[in-house]
Structure 1
Amino acid sequence: MSSLERNGGLQKGDSGGDKFRLQLITWNVATSDPPVDISSLLHFDSPKATDFYVIGLQEVYSGPLRFMSDVLFDDPWSYVLMTALAPRRYVKVASIRMQGLLLLLFCKLEHLPFIRDIKTTYTRTGIFGYWGNKGGVSIRLSFYGHMLCFLNCHLAAHMKNAPDRVVEFEHITDKQSFSCEKAERILDHRLVFWFGDLNFRIQDHGMNFVRTCISNQNYSLLWSKDQLILMKQKEKLLQEFEEGLLDFQPTYKFDVNTDTYDSSTKKRKPAWTDRILWRLRPKQTGSKEKHGDRPDGSDVKQLEAEEYPLAIRQDLYTSNMEYSISDHKPVTAIFTLELKKMYTDPLVHLQAEGEWSADMDAMLLYSPLQSFPSSTWDWIGLYRVGFTSVSDYITYTWVKDDEVSINEDAIKVYVSKEEIPVRGGDCMLGYYSNTLQCIIGISEPFKVHESKVVIEEGLLHEKTISLDQIVANEHFHN
């Protein structure tokens, strides 16, 4: 029985704060291109809107030509996901790729200024640690002040290598580090999600018994021989991670484009290779009166945890049998995070001043609402409403280079008319902090008017068409 069941809902107690919905997906896509329709994968038909999407893929095609193309442009999987999510006002906050391992994080636009201190890193473990066909990629961030880390792994394959998989996981968690004072390593984070193609198998049971249990949906008869469950019984680090019940059929290995388990001569035994686990940082022990005395800062973390509680509940843990482009099925977990926000205001307030069009230079105003580490590399981007990612700007202006004036209320920044789109549209402004590696303020949507030149060209075009029609009509009647 998991601690989730023991606590009867939100893990480690109710935080009494705001609730957020997190959807996490892991899928070994076996080098296939994405399906045309991914609405079922993203649970668009759910009555509750998702605040966060975190998508971890393994075995994304990384042939030399494709990989070089993906470095310059968005890879097909990122493109399809952004295209599906952007119209629903989700923005890609961060991503990291190591060969076939890809990790993407999307959030609702309204949360964007409250996701800070974003860092990414990776660790290779496959083929002597050089090629990167196995290993882990991670994204860490602060969400309303709470430190979260997402780790997508692809671990060693084959039945006999269960101990090696644990060693690889321990190596990844020990080796990965971030330039972040509050949470330098993965396990320093308040909440860690560990997921991916972890490659743990079902041992001892024979093929016929396993397939009969699956056919009869008696999954619980297989749990006692699942390698990850077995390894958790003796590995202290694994015991700190929670997992929901494996109450869905094993997700590996299928014949491609079917729901049939491996019918090749190898006839690999079905297994729950694709998993999603989480770890809420254990409470620190010891006196809280000696605030800050410990060199690891554990007393500070304990006091912070008590003042700003965080609770987690898993609402869904399942596979999606609809997709058959890979020999793995995707696995989804949906969580409710309940937390007390450490801050409720963005770092910067932004607004467009006056009327904007490509016919005249424009001005924008920004006001720091809190102190933050500003940099000469900070910039403000002009985005269309419905933009897909932080880098999906129309244009940008350097904050320091283009300052025009400063007063008590706001700082005015110049934007050249040459940078403003001539066809106009509904737009927004976003302040990007180079130090924090994220957008720390967004404006309300505003209208950029179509340029008079475009309007005049349009009228001239209409007149030309009308004249052509008159000439054509006269020619027809004659």
Structure 2
Amino acid sequence: MQGLLLLVFAKMMHLPFIRNSQTTYTRTGIFGYWGNKGAVSVRFSFYGHMVCFLNCHLAAHMHNALQRVDEFEHILETQDFDIFDTPHVLDHKVVFWFGDLNFRIEDHGLHFVRSSINGGRLNLLWSKDQLIMMKKKEPFLQEFEEGPLNFKPTYKFDRKADTYDTSGKKRKPAWTDRILWRIKPKSLPSGEEEEEEGDDEKASTFTDNGQDEYPILVTQNTYTSVMSYGVSDHKPVIGNFTLELRKCFDTQLVHVTPVGEWSADQNALLTYTILEDFMSSTWDWIGLYKVGFKSASDYETFVWVRENELPEVNEVIEKSVDKNEIPLLSEEYVLGYYSTNLNSIVGLSDNFQILESKRAAVEGLVPKDINGINN
């Protein structure tokens, strides 16, 4: 949405265990018709743990603190995902909420705010930070955690400078850009009464469906800003977190492997085997990716897994890849099985080398030394 972007990067080793990814958005600008304000989000299952990331841009100006809270709550209520057990943002086990929340510092005058910043007495400003103040009043905000604001307010700066706004408006500095997180509270099985005070250990081991669940621990390692960045009138805010979790599964859904040597001089073979029953589809495909690829659609070529019938579990299927679709030069590649229903890669082969084709020199793709001889 107009100026709102959310990118998620993952190491390749994690890809087969990132499943059911979905995205959505909410417009809040001009009564919901304009996307200059609002939120974009992505959710997925990470080793069986439901995680959601949400980037937002809320209403501006000092006097709109209540409107920002209303927009925050509206986004939580209206964002829907087509997942039966986690249809809403707050259904996820972990939520990271971040962006230009636009909360300001109330009461204190410009001179006091700037002198507190210059003197390193940031703690004098915390009690008048609108988000901190609103968290004391709004129960749903109290579920979100935030690290200490031990970095200078990130708004508003002169562009390409480290000085706060010197324009005629002289906007008061504020921590507009924030990173919050929430771990889903645990609850008792449906129909059970809460335990007596002092006997709540049992409640902490159950989820809403009454089954034991693996815990997840979120630790914030750093929460800071980058003052050297000068393109915007905001300074970027960075949060570094460690997630400790017990994997609910650690086996890929599909085993994919290349057969023999691959080069563009002959058709190549691959095999795949579905290891677990899942919602496979004839629209699933296996892509050939250069190691370091950026997205599931960043393939060199692909083959459909099946034209008609889907294979049985543990059935080994062989597919052929046309030699004209195979890269001519030697590089490292990987095969990935993409599930249309799960919207993710659910099987990756080991890295393998594609050999340089004899056609590469003919087509002038091989670099030459100073004597004009092919290397």
Q: TM-score, normalised by structure 2?
A: 0.91
Counterpart of 2:236 (choices 327, 330, 346) is 330
Alignment pair present for 1:198 and 2:104 = no
Q: Look up the SS of the partner of 2:77 in the other structure.
A: helix
Alignment of 1:215-364 (within 5 A): 215-285=118-188, 301=208, 303-304=210-211, 306-364=212-270
Alignment pair present for 1:426 and 2:337 = no
Deviation at 1:275, TM superposition (A): 0.3
Corresponding residue number in structure 1 for 2:199: none
Deviation string, structure 1 residues 277-314 (Cα, Å, up to 9, x no partner): 01101111456879xxxxxxx9654645x431111111
Deviation string, structure 1 residues 33-70 (Cα, Å, up to 9, x no partner): xxxxxxxxxxxxxxxxxxxxxxxxxxxxxxxxxxxxxx
Deviation string, structure 1 residues 227-275 (Cα, Å, up to 9, x no partner): 0011111111101111111111000000000000000010000000000
- Counterpart Cα distance in 2 of 1:309 and 1:133: 37
Alignment of 1:79-94 (within 5 A): none
Task: From the superposition, tell whether residues 401 and 455 of structure 1 become closer, same or farther in structure 2 (CA, over 3 Å).
Answer: farther
Aligned partner letter, 1:263: T
- Counterpart Cα distance in 2 of 1:322 and 1:263: 18
Q: Is the 8 A contact 2:280 2:310 kept in 1?
A: no
- Counterpart Cα distance in 1 of 2:224 and 2:206: 38
Alignment pair present for 1:104 and 2:7 = yes
Deviation string, structure 1 residues 316-356 (Cα, Å, up to 9, x no partner): 11111111111000001111111111001111111100111
Q: Is the 8 A contact 1:319 1:332 kept in 2?
A: yes
- Counterpart Cα distance in 2 of 1:388 and 1:411: 27
Corresponding residue number in structure 1 for 2:197: none
Alpha carbon RMSD of aligned pairs, Å?
Answer: 2.6
The alignment-based identity, stated in percent, is: 59
Q: Is the 8 A contact 2:281 2:310 kept in 1?
A: no
Corresponding residue number in structure 1 for 2:65: 162
Structure 1 runs (4+) deviating above 2 angstroms are: 285-290, 298-304, 401-409, 453-467
Corresponding residue number in structure 1 for 2:87: 184
Q: Is the 8 A contact 1:284 1:302 kept in 2?
A: no
Unaligned runs of 5+ residues in structure 2 are 194-204
Deviation at 1:448, TM superposition (A): 1.1
Q: Look up the SS of the partner of 2:174 in the other structure.
A: coil
Alignment pair present for 1:441 and 2:347 = yes
Task: From the superposition, tell whether residues 424 and 218 of structure 1 become closer, same or farther in structure 2 (CA, over 3 Å).
Answer: same
Aligned partner letter, 1:379: W
Alignment pair present for 1:376 and 2:279 = no
Aligned partner letter, 2:282: T
Task: From the superposition, tell whether residues 160 and 460 of structure 1 become closer, same or farther in structure 2 (CA, over 3 Å).
Answer: closer
Deviation at 1:421, TM superposition (A): 1.1
Of stretches 444-453 and 178-187 in structure 1, the one that deviates more from structure 2 is: 444-453
Q: Look up the SS of the partner of 2:149 in the other structure.
A: coil
The structure richer in helix per residue is 1
Alignment of 1:434-473 (within 5 A): 434-455=340-361
- Counterpart Cα distance in 1 of 2:147 and 2:111: 26
Q: Look up the SS of the partner of 1:396 in the other structure.
A: strand
- Counterpart Cα distance in 1 of 2:18 and 2:276: 15
Deviation at 1:111, TM superposition (A): 0.5
- Counterpart Cα distance in 1 of 2:53 and 2:283: 27
Q: Is the 8 A contact 2:190 2:208 kept in 1?
A: no
- Counterpart Cα distance in 1 of 2:97 and 2:120: 26
